[in-house]
Amino acid sequence: MLDHVSIAVADLQRSAPFYDVVMAALGVPCVWRQATAIGYGIRNAPGDDGHTYLTLRADSSLGPASFQAPGRHWCFRALNRAAVDAFHASGIANGGTSDGVPGLRPTYHAGYYAAFLRDPDGNRIEAVCHSATGSS
Q: Is 135 helix (H, G, I), strand (E, B) or coil?
A: coil
Report pLDDT for 24: 98
* Per-run averaged pLDDT (10 residues), the chain, 136 residues: 86 95 97 96 87 90 64 90 98 97 96 96 94 72
Report pLDDT for 62: 67
Residue 1, strand partner residues: none
Rounded distance between C-alpha atoms, residue 33 and residue 16, angstroms: 10
Domains and CATH numbers, the chain: 4-60+72-129 (3.10.180.10)
Backbone angles phi, psi at 2, to 5 degrees: -90, 140
For the chain, the C-alpha Rg in angstroms (whole number) is 15
3-state helix, strand, coil in the chain (%, to 5): 25, 35, 40
Report pLDDT for 105: 96
Backbone angles phi, psi at 36, to 5 degrees: -115, 0
pTM listed for this prediction: 0.89
